[in-house]
Amino acid sequence: MSKPRIACVVGTRPDTIKNVPVFIELKKFADRCDPVLVATGQHREMMDQALAAFEVRPDIDLDIMQVGQTLAEVTSRALDGLERVFKENRPDFVIAQGDTATTFVASLAAFYHRIPFGHVEAGLRTPTVQDPFPEEFYRRASALITHQHYPPTQWAKQNLLREHHDPETIFVTGNTGIDAVLRIAEAQKQDWLTGHEGRVFVLTTHRRENWGEPQRRIAEACLALVERYPDSVLVAAMHRNPIVRETLTSVLGGHPRIQLIEPPEYARFVKLMQRATLILTDSGGVQEEAPAFGIPVLVLRETTERPEGVESGNAKLVGTDKDLIYSEAVRLLDEPDAYASMSAAASPYGDGLAAPRIRYLALKSLGVESPEVPMWEL
């Protein structure tokens, strides 16, 4: 009897970081299954950086990225490529992560071929399908044709139940992003600002809804923070989108204690988070990862599909109002009890064992036994 083939599909930096731990876990059981890593290359360089951090290479690379690509072009090229891959390789199970175009298309291509689809980080939701755009649509649409949902938390599970998905298909696993960040943190040495003894603020902002004036307000708030604390350094990892870069550079460029840097390789960014005193971000992944290190997070969005961090006290939703960002940061930095409360809260996102749980569930659905791990309960 041949071993079942499981295709793990990635395409961007976030979905690579969170799906490769599942692929690596499946590879440990290569005597029982045939895992295949399929890359669309939706975000070429940033995806490659994430792959390098885990020292893996895709078995199949569609290399679809083109300069100036539209969402429609990404979708059509990824669908055409995955159609060929699934037709030629006939996987028995497909796994993809999150809310990218690659993930949505992987679920759709699997549906067309009647291949069971496993959705890592299922069940995240915001009140409207338009925000965040287009990610909220992608995750909702993928859920409609998912065979096994792997929500990271009980909150995400409840979202799926409210949408009337079959409870027998929903398994709370914790977040594979915690698996990834703990693995990388343990393996890497700290080399950020080793001679600096003061505060370190880390900024990441890239979401479409924050382009333009909201991003300018964010940058102005960060500039005010650096000016208030003479012992501080701000490190802003700039997304490659020129719209983002123009705004950040115009406000923050040229300051002696502000570093505008290229997006670091994933392993280096993990160590930067560990080095931070405070993180300001509109990134979903960073909202999950920072609590693993006890770093307070100010979330630069009006809504978040990751409310667990806010509810547990690890993060605070501050939007893009300049005065609110500034005042909340100052409160944390000037009030030791407030800072200690945020940094001491237990991470609600996982224990580093999400990938083994997903491996067990996927293989079990294919009639293959492997060691079981209890589901994530927090």
Q: Which residues are catalytic?
A: 99, 121, 135, 206, 208, 239
Cα(352)–Cα(255) distance, integer angstroms: 39
- Name the CA radius of gyration of the chain, rounded: 20
Closest CA to 19 of 206, 218, 222, 173: 173
Residues contacting residue 218 through CB under 8 Å, at least 6 positions apart: 203, 205, 210, 280, 300, 320, 322, 325
206 close to 283: Cβ distance less than 8 angstroms: yes
Closest CA to 75 of 65, 85, 89: 65
Residue 163's Cα: distance from chain center in Å?
Answer: 23
Q: Are 342 and 296 in contact (CB under 8 A)?
A: yes
Contact 306, 123 (CB under 8 A): no
Phi, psi values for residue 281, rounded to 5°: -155, 150
Which amino acid is present at 133?
F
Rounded distance between C-alpha atoms, residue 11 and residue 42, angstroms: 5
Measured CA to CA, the distance from residue 39 to residue 180 in angstroms comes to: 18
Q: Which of 191, 238, 196, 193 is nearest to 218 (CA)?
A: 238
Residue 368 has a CB neighbour count (10 Å cut-off) of: 17
